[in-house]
Structure 1
Amino acid sequence: MKILVPVALLVLAGPTLAAARDGKPVDPNQRICKAVEVTGSRFTKKTCHTRAEWAQLDKAGADAADEAMKTRRADSAWPQ
């Protein structure tokens, strides 16, 4: 669950990142709501944060994924 949520947030961040690439001014305080999948449930949960908070969550998720990959490689029996 700890890894699934950040990965889901990264996937949902695509439209937010696309808007920033269009060259339009981006308001970091704009409130954005997204439907987030909950592990073990058929239902989604509506979660609202500002653009700045979503960016912070995206970075935390990416950092967690990087750390998990580093730990996985370090524990692996295969030579690196």
Structure 2
Amino acid sequence: MLILTRKEGQSIIINNNIEILISSIDGEQVKIGINAPQEVHILRKEVYDAVQLSNKAAVSAKIDTSTLKKLPNPKK
């Protein structure tokens, strides 16, 4: 892990196309701005973790096959 010290108004560049800007610092709260290409997905870690947990739960959920059997067969 790389740890950098930055002041308000300073930024870092990642991979030549992502800029992380320290927008403001107020006590223990730091506001950052992220300038990245549109195809780069940016999520807060807690949101990312919640999505991953939800995906794992969906994959491991038991499927009621009787419900699936009642669905129309698209090949008919």
TM-score, length of structure 1 as denominator length: 0.32
Question: Which structure exhibits the higher relative contact order, with contacts defined as CA atoms closer than 8 Å and separated by 6 or more residues?
Answer: 1
TM-score, length of structure 2 as denominator length: 0.33
* Structure with the higher helix share, 1 or 2: 1
Larger Rg: 2
* Structure with the higher strand share, 1 or 2: 2
